[in-house]
Amino acid sequence: MNMRLSFVIYAFALIFALLPPSTFAEIADDALRIMPLGNSITYGGYDSNYRLYLWEKLQRAQVSCEFVGTLQGGNCAAYDCDHEGHYGWSIESLTAGVVDWLNATSPDMVLTMIGSNDMGGDSTHTQRAVESLSQLIETMRATAPQAKLFIASLPLIDYGWPEPSVDLFNDSAQAMIQRRSQTDSLLFFADVGRQLTTNDLADGIHPNDQGYRKMADAWFDAIRPHAEQYIFTTTSRAFHAGLSQLRATRLRVMLPAMQQSVDAGNPYLPNGKRLPPPSQNSYTGHSVTIPNRRQ
């Protein structure tokens, strides 16, 4: 074992012996909690949806995060598949359920794309949909006053002819959100849907794989500036490496002050304190990742 690795393992074994158990609970909880909220476009497919591709981008960017929601959908072995994407739901339907979902999951961010099932009809109908969206925002803000709310533009609808109400909805929704954001600094418009073209649709309304990847890119660009405090640092990566070796190997570490060895495969230290289990959302491959402390 090289000297640097020996020092890392020794140092963090000693830290585990000294830190109170509450410290580990705080570390495990310090991840960005993201709720994907919407209808079937948010639910997506098993192997293709924006949630999967957004998760992959966040992991590559080393953002400590977890998706939250009362539903699960997609290949849950590949990513955190919790969400609130409800097939066929309208804006009013989401408003009726969102209080319970927010209270159950306590998200830091809510990524909302809703309104496709409210399209069609004349401009008066579309304006009512925008008013419903405003009510949804008001309900979310009252329930989760500290959450950052991102409201997305809708993808176009094309069943052989473009649906003009989508453009009117997007323009009106953007203007409404910009007005509200003057007094709500945690409300943001995310221009996600307008990044898609007819070539990005599978059936005229739902994105294909290319469309979902474009959505993930747009969502990532929207939330990335707000995730800085959750990005792993060089210091935390060194901690990960030492902690990974301490957990995943059968190394025996001598603690001079304690004059006994710690079996790294045993979750208990000699003083009886238990090592915290690796977080599902921060354990990848053979490393354990610990994020920055929240500011």
pLDDT score for 131: 98
Is residue 293 domain-resident? no
Is residue 295 domain-resident? no
Is residue 86 domain-resident? yes
pLDDT score for 273: 41
Query: Are 99 and 199 in the same domain?
Result: yes
Query: Are 78 and 133 in the same domain?
Result: yes
| Contacts within 8 Å (CB) and 24+ apart, 159-163 | 159/204, 159/205, 160/204, 163/119, 163/120
Query: Are 20 and 41 in the same domain?
Result: no
Tell me the sheet residues that pair with 261.
254
pLDDT score for 181: 96
Query: Are 122 and 145 in the same domain?
Result: yes
Both tokens of residue 256? 């001079």
Query: Are 117 and 171 in the same domain?
Result: yes
Last residue of a domain, one of 204, 230, 256: 230
Query: Are 129 and 144 in the same domain?
Result: yes
Domain that holds residue 254: 3-28+235-288
Picking from 70, 2, 80, the residue whose alpha carbon sits closest to that of residue 37 is 70
Contact 87, 45 (CB under 8 A): no
Query: Are 119 and 134 in the same domain?
Result: yes
List of residues 6+ apart from 177 with CB closer than 8 A: 137, 151, 187, 188, 189
Query: Are 85 and 137 in the same domain?
Result: yes
Is residue 130 domain-resident? yes
Last residue of a domain, one of 215, 230, 245: 230
Is residue 294 domain-resident? no
Tens of pLDDT, residues 3-58:
554 554 445 444 444 444 333 333 435 899 999 999 999 999 999 999 999 999 99
Query: Are 90 and 201 in the same domain?
Result: yes
Query: Are 187 and 262 in the same domain?
Result: no
Query: Are 159 and 258 in the same domain?
Result: no
pLDDT score for 232: 76
Is residue 175 domain-resident? yes
- Which residue ranges in the chain fall short of pLDDT 70? 1-29, 233-295
pLDDT score for 4: 55
Is residue 65 domain-resident? yes
The domain total for the chain is 2
Query: Are 13 and 80 in the same domain?
Result: no
The pTM assigned to this predicted structure is 0.73
CA–CA gap between residue 187 and residue 168 (Å, rounded): 21
Q: Which CATH number covers residue 125?
A: 3.40.50.1110
Count of C-beta atoms within a 10 Å radius of residue 106: 12
